[in-house]
Amino acid sequence: MTRMPPSPRSRDARPRAGIVPPWLLLRVAEATDRFDVAADAAQRSLRHDVPLRELRAEGGHPSFGAPPVPREQPSLRPGAEPEPDRRISDAGGAQTLPGRLVRREGEPATGDEAVDQAYDGLGETYRLFQRVFGRDAIDGAGAPLEATVHFGDRYDNAFWDGERMVFGDGDGEVFRGFTQSLSVIGHELAHGVTETTARLRYRDQSGALNEHVSDVFGALVEQYAMGQDAGAATWLIGEGVFTDLVEGRALRSMIEPGTAYDDDVLGRDPQPAHFRDYIRTSDDNGGVHLNSGIPNRAFALAAVELGGFAWEHAGRVWYDTLTAGTLGPDDGFAVFAAATLESARARFGATSAEVRAVASGWRTVGLDPE
């Protein structure tokens, strides 16, 4: 296993569930000779994230000074199909949440790209969870889906804060606006689903699994919206968030961890693809964004081996595992792998192709789920 020395800038605190890891923002922040605007934006984004990491370490969620929008539950006629209750707010470049409510469920497009992308992305995410897995919103009981866009001044991240998804506009040099990637929107919403189900602690292996689960459903949301089968899918998370000035396709590749970007400033994607290369570090809450590449590859390989639509087989196995009530908050890769195999047996049968593919995926990355 690879061991990374702790960075003097790292903090032993639990971060909020952001899509861009702190070590990547640090790279941008130090690139003042190439990206002066982006470096300044990354420095401010990192300073903003410090109190959020401290709150996560204490198990709390941030308060940004504004009262929350009342959470009325949507009414549903008997026999009617559940519908999302989307609420998009605009922070207007400030860091006060939720911001000004600018679009609610059923209202027409506003013409603001970030607002309308967030609205559409929440709808696509809701449709996957409701139509495929029978889950009505994050909590399974129709709670509103809330998002805030235009958060901060050129804020270089998107995150789940325990109540809503929050999206920055990016700095324009390294990062574009984060609502432009449907996999990012699905990823952040899935953090809310994990919080209300398995509650995987955001540290070390359980934290890497937390990130992995969000990557899985972020990818599935994108594939479901595009009608892509497992073989045609890119398996990229955050495709399109880098500008053309960056040598990179996305933030992460699920099927080929370590290949998403290779840039002379940002460096090479450091995600390991095999458990023998598991990275031990005190940064990134024990490497939650790094080591998630290992289970990511196991899932993608299983889905590709099975063929067809990933949400119909591997996705169901992972959702069953997340919601079965058998996982503990500190469970690691070995326990999770075994639980997915048990879920595959329960849903598809002990001798099914799904059981074989799940087991093969885990073995390929160095874990034996038997």
Residue 78 main-chain phi, psi, to 5 deg:
-55, 130
- Active-site residue, from 146, 188, 195, 342: 188
Angle between helices 353-364 and 293-306 (to 10 degrees): 150
Give the number of other Cβ atoms within 10 Å of residue 231's Cβ: 10
Kindly name the residue from 150, 187, 212, 289 that is annotated as catalytic. Answer: 289
Counting every residue written for the chain, the total comes to 370
Structure tokens at 307: 């063929």
Query: 220: part of which helix (H) or strand (E)?
Result: helix 204-226
User: 216: closest CA among 199, 202, 230?
Assistant: 230
Active site residue 313: no
User: Token pair of 62, please?
Assistant: 């941030």
Q: What are the two backbone dihedrals, phi and then psi, of residue 102, each rounded to the nearest 5 degrees?
A: -120, -15
User: Please, which residues bridge with residue 267 across strands?
Assistant: 263
Q: Is 188 a catalytic residue?
A: yes
- DSSP category for residue 302: H
- The residues annotated as belonging to the active site are 188, 289
